[in-house]
A and B are shown apart, each in its own frame.
Chain A
């Protein structure tokens, strides 16, 4: 009997606001511990939260982008638990009445697009960070992150494989970055995922789920889900029962271990947060947030195909991130006559080289204007495409512009047909046997002659012209 995997995801996305959710402290990453704190986010006596409207706007924008319902009245609650990096002893969150409900994302799968439901997006605050020293009975607490705004995005249990889960996460990751509502840097904890996984035979009711925590890269998510699926199937096939529990993924060992069982689940004793009145939004406010909606990746993909004649593949690659798409648009603005060549040089050549250096477009030492300078020299036949690849390497290496490198290295293409004719004559006289064979009908020797000419010119001869002149002169 076949197995069906059921996955639902809870993603904590840090909203990239300038200040924290309920106080005026900076949210900048990487500051000295406890330097971005104030009496409010330290949970000092008598201190009160005041809601950051920028965090609200970003959550609403995210909701609108997934076609969800924005609740014009939502409420805040307290989730109570003790932990040293939770200064108030409760987290401000939203339970019965979240800001956003009922949206969806479309994800690509092998069988085509699939709709994944999003149950809700609610606002909450982050806790601080505990750091446990290796030696001694000491822990340190950094409260810089305490009170940083989060959007918790909860999906329906609509995914049926680890690949679908990863596709959903990538789609969501791309979306929040396009919306500029989050930096979504997974290494900085700005995009964190918990997965609820269960298995069943198709058509049966949902199986008992395990919640997987500590999934902080797309790779770990895939590994952890695949591990969990096998674990559960083995338990059931061995006649056992899956227990509801929270499991922690250990990426070093490539396995998960039980963190707490259902019996040990905290009772968070949620109740309405009396320090914050209900959050009320007017339809006008929501409309004005909607009016500021940027172009979304899907729309941009279609536009790139239509406006620039790109292949679906190139359009897809170039809309992976807002920064890359913006780079491409700047590039095309500089070489408007050549959008396809621009796409090719960006998507294949530049990105490929950056990837080898484990960098992305935001770290590129070559800006769109500089890359456009190179593309122009290909278009006007100053250099061939092949030489251009060497020039691009040199540009990355030295940071110099295409023209300076072409000039300095003498790479300018030979486009003078009499000069090319002279070289061809020389090649023909050095290879009279091959000329004979060619004239006797061995057409494929053409490639040999082209190679010889290019070698003689160290690649600088214009390949089109070489082909054309060879055909004429070889005829005799």
Chain B
């Protein structure tokens, strides 16, 4: 049962074979047993989680079950929710429990889900390895010496190790897809504007988007159907977004005649050879299932990482200004004066990577440098968006590796931020263009999971879900789980 899909759990709950209370108990037991080796969860309120589960069971007894009735879902520590501290992996928010729920948390509660604690993450979602967390690194259940990816590393690790059936993550430059890829699960970043950002602690407002991390494509579709939709409280949540038949798209499983673009810039020297081989093999399999593989070019891809590391830190430098020790969060002891309070509170509260990005962002926005950095980066962003528009004139969907390498060793890249930043080289452009992207398992490289990334035009998550479901139904990569945590292994 720990590795069941939501779909399975729902059937068992509906059949009365299990209860929300039993499920919550099962996952809490597993968390208790395995979290020490993974460090996937940072806040788990055992009592209140059991209370949520019992409330769901009594709801089920009296009413018709809601779409996620009794299903436990782990939540990245970036989503504000009233039942638990929300600290964004940072010391500066130590002890902060919001007085409000994020919009998507409200949606999950309304759907009957049980919120299964807060998962570890890179501090303020700034990282690709979960090593910048104030709570220490989270580990990959396939090899606990290795990173689970980031920034939604805790969510990925929890789902991959069977500590939760599903989780919520956020994705600013690949933070859902890359950890999903390196832990062997499914993760989707919806189109920018599809999911409300209200109540999600902001990293880079024009790039952040929340999404599901699950075992199967259908589970991803199910959670997406709950958390998506217009929210008048977020001006960037699009009011008249084309709707998607989430579950219907999964049932279509369409590969026949599908035009899949294979961008040359995503199959390059320097990437892991085995990763490349697995992704090529996946494409071959799609072709055998009736898809047409078309070589395309996204010529500005090489500038994506540079543009991202100007735009995201610039926005972050402003978004993180509110953590000043005045109203909430950490305040240094015995400040001498205002400047001392600001300086020491922020110096003590933020980790190195967050400081690096705040400084980078503040620099890029400074008078005299703005045109050379921020404005230029925005121009690059336009070109990247244009690249995708051109490509989608030719193909229905694009397939690429999600990450150029499988999970690397903890500590391997921490001293070299630039190499670390390149972990996101295949995911970042999707955020810059605001497009939907999904990663699904497509094999193993040296016994470590490899992810296949699907990219579609804006608002066409249905094309991704249909193709990914088709691939999933023809393979069993998604059904393999780490042995050390009770799975069948790879």
The distance in angstroms between the C-alpha atoms of A119 and B114, with both chains bound, is 56
0/1 interface trace, chain A 259-291, chain B, CB 8 Å (1 if under): 000000001011100111100000000000000
CB 8 Å contact bits of A80-124 with B (1 = contact, 0 = none): 101010011110000000000000000000000000000000000
In Å, the complex CA distance between A50 and B370 comes to: 27
Shortest CB-to-CB span from A51 to chain B, Å, is 7
Residues of B within 8 A of A48 (CB): 197-198, 233-236
CB-CB under 8 A for A89 and B236, given A46-B102, A269-B367, A274-B315: no
CB distance from A21 to the nearest CB of B (A): 12
| Residue B372 interfacial (CB < 8 Å) | no
CA distance A43 to B323 in the complex (A): 9
Q: Are A39 and B100 in contact (CB under 8 A)?
A: yes
**Bound: A84/B324 CA distance, A:** 8
A82 to B338, CA, bound (A): 10
A43 touches B327 (CB 8 A): yes
A49 at interface, CB cutoff 8 A: yes
Q: Which residues of B contact A42 (CB under 8 A)?
A: 327
Interface contact B321-A80, CB-CB below 8 Å: yes
Whether A46 lies near B206 (C-beta < 8 A) is: no
With both beta carbons as reference points, the residue of chain A lying nearest to B200 in the complex is identified as: A46
Size of interface on A: residues with Cβ below 8 Å to B: 28
* Contact B321–A269 (Cβ < 8 Å): no
Contacts of B328 in A (CB 8 A): 44
Whether A88 lies near B367 (C-beta < 8 A) is no
Question: How distant is B80 from chain A, measured CB to nearest CB, in Å?
Answer: 5
A45-B80, A45-B93, A269-B362 known; A80 vs B317 contact (CB < 8 Å): yes
Asked, given contacts A50-B232, A269-B365, whether A274 binds B205 with beta carbons under 8 Å apart, the answer is yes
Interface check B119, CB cutoff 8 A = no
Which residue of chain A has its CB nearest to the CB of B320? A89
Cβ contact within 8 Å between B98 and A44: yes
Q: Nearest residue in B to A270 (C-beta to C-beta)? A: B365
Alpha-carbon distance between A269 and B365 when the two chains are bound, in angstroms = 5
In this assembly, does A47 line the interface, its C-beta being within 8 Å of a C-beta of chain B?
yes
* A89 with B80: CB separation less than 8 A: no
Residues of B417-453 whose CB lies within 8 A of A = none
Question: B273 in the interface, Cβ–Cβ < 8 Å?
Answer: no
Q: Is the CB of B235 within 8 A of A49?
A: yes
State A287–B291 Cα separation when bound (angstroms).
Answer: 53
Task: Judge whether B206 and A84 touch: CB under 8 Å.
Answer: no
On whether A277 and B324 interact (CB within 8 A), knowing A45-B88, A82-B342, the answer reads no
A78 at the interface (CB under 8 A from B): yes
CB distance from A45 to the nearest CB of B (A): 5
In the assembled complex, the Cα of A115 lies from the Cα of B88 at a distance in Å of: 55
Expressed in whole angstroms, the minimum distance between the Cβ of A280 and any Cβ of chain B is: 12
B residues in contact with A51, CB < 8 Å? 235
CA distance A42 to B236 in the complex (A): 20
B99 located at the interface, meaning its Cβ lies under 8 Å from any Cβ of chain A in the complex: yes
Query: Is residue A141 within 8 Å, beta carbon to beta carbon, of the partner chain?
Result: yes
* A90-B318 in contact given A44-B98, A267-B366, A271-B370 (Cβ < 8 Å): yes
Q: Which residue of A lies closest to B193 (CB)?
A: A277
Contacts A267-B367, A275-B235, A277-B235; is A90 near B321 (CB within 8 Å)?
A: yes
Interface pair B234/A46, CB less than 8 Å apart: no
* Interface positions of B from 158 to 216, Cβ below 8 Å from A: 197-202, 204-206
**B220, CB-defined interface residue at 8 Å:** no
Interface status of B356 (Cβ within 8 A of chain A) = no
Chain A neighbourhood of B206, CB < 8 A: 274
Determine the distance from Cα of A88 to Cα of B204 in the docked complex, in whole angstroms.
Answer: 15
A1-44 to B contact mask, C-beta < 8 Å, 1/0: 00000000000000000000000000000000000000100111
Chain A residues with CB under 8 A of B233: 48, 50
Tell me if B205 and A275 are in contact (CB < 8 A). yes
B321-365: contact bitstring with A at CB < 8 Å (1 yes, 0 no)? 110101110000000001000100000000000000000001001
The interface residues of chain A lying within 8 Å CB-to-CB of B303 are none
B374 lies within 8 A of chain A by Cβ: yes
> Whose C-beta in chain B lies nearest to the C-beta of A269?
B365
Contacts of B98 in A (CB 8 A): 39, 44-46
A80: which B residues are within 8 A, CB to CB? Answer: 317-318, 321, 362, 365
Query: A275–B322 contact, CB under 8 A?
Result: no
Q: How far is the CB of B191 from chain A (nearest CB, A)?
A: 15
> What's the least CB distance linking B349 to chain A, in Å?
13
**Considering the chains assembled together, what is the distance between the CA atoms of A270 and B314 in angstroms?**
10
Most chain B Cβ neighbours within 10 Å, of A48, A50, A84: A48
Instruction: Answer whether residue B96 sits at the interface, using C-beta atoms and an 8 A cutoff.
Output: yes
**A275 nearest in chain B by CB position:** B205
Q: Which residue of B lies closest to A276 (CB)?
A: B235
A88 touches B322 (CB 8 A): yes
B86 at the interface (CB under 8 A from A): yes
Q: Pick the contact of B199: A46, A49, A82, A141 (CB < 8 A).
A: A46
Which chain A positions have C-beta within 8 A of B198?
Answer: 46-48
Instruction: Report B299-322 residues with CB < 8 Å from chain A CB.
Output: 314-315, 317-318, 320-322
Q: Are A275 and B199 in contact (CB under 8 A)?
A: no
Closest to B78 in A: A46
Interface residues of A in 401-427 (CB under 8 A from B): none
Measured CB to CB, the nearest residue on chain B to A90 is B318
Q: Which residues of A contact B342 (CB under 8 A)?
A: 82
User: Assuming the A-B contacts A271-B365, A276-B235, are A87 and B317 also in contact, with contact meaning beta carbons closer than 8 angstroms in the complex?
Assistant: no
Taking CB atoms, residues of chain A closer than 8 Å to B232 are 50
Residues of A within 8 A of B367 (CB): 267, 269
Are A78 and B318 interface neighbours, CB within 8 A?
yes
- Measured between beta carbons, the chain B residues less than 8 angstroms from A270 are 365
Q: CA–CA, A136 to B278, complex, Å?
A: 68
Chain B residues near A89 (CB-CB < 8 A): 318, 320-322, 324
**A267: B residues at CB distance < 8 A:** 366-367
Measured in the bound complex, the distance between the Cα atoms of B322 and A270 in whole Å is 16
Residues of B within 8 A of A78 (CB): 318
Q: Say whether B202 contacts A46, CB under 8 Å.
A: yes
B7 to chain A, nearest CB (A): 30
A267→B86 CA distance, assembly (Å): 32
Q: Which 9 A-B pairs have the closest CB atoms?
A: A89-B321, A274-B205, A269-B365, A274-B206, A43-B322, A46-B199, A45-B201, A46-B201, A84-B326
Binding site for A on B (CB under 8 A): 80, 86, 88, 93, 96, 98-100, 102, 197-202, 204-206, 232-236, 314-315, 317-318, 320-322, 324, 326-328, 338, 342, 362, 365-367, 370, 374
Given contacts A39-B99, A87-B322, A269-B366, 16 further A-B contacts (CB under 8 A): A43-B322, A44-B98, A44-B100, A45-B93, A47-B199, A48-B234, A80-B362, A87-B326, A88-B321, A90-B321, A269-B370, A270-B365, A271-B315, A274-B236, A276-B236, A277-B235
* Residues in A lying within 8 Å of B, measured CB to CB: 39, 42-51, 78, 80, 82, 84, 87-90, 141, 267, 269-271, 274-277
Q: List 15 A-B pairs, Cβ < 8 Å.
A: A39-B98, A39-B100, A43-B327, A44-B322, A46-B102, A46-B199, A80-B317, A80-B321, A80-B362, A89-B318, A89-B322, A89-B324, A267-B367, A274-B204, A274-B315
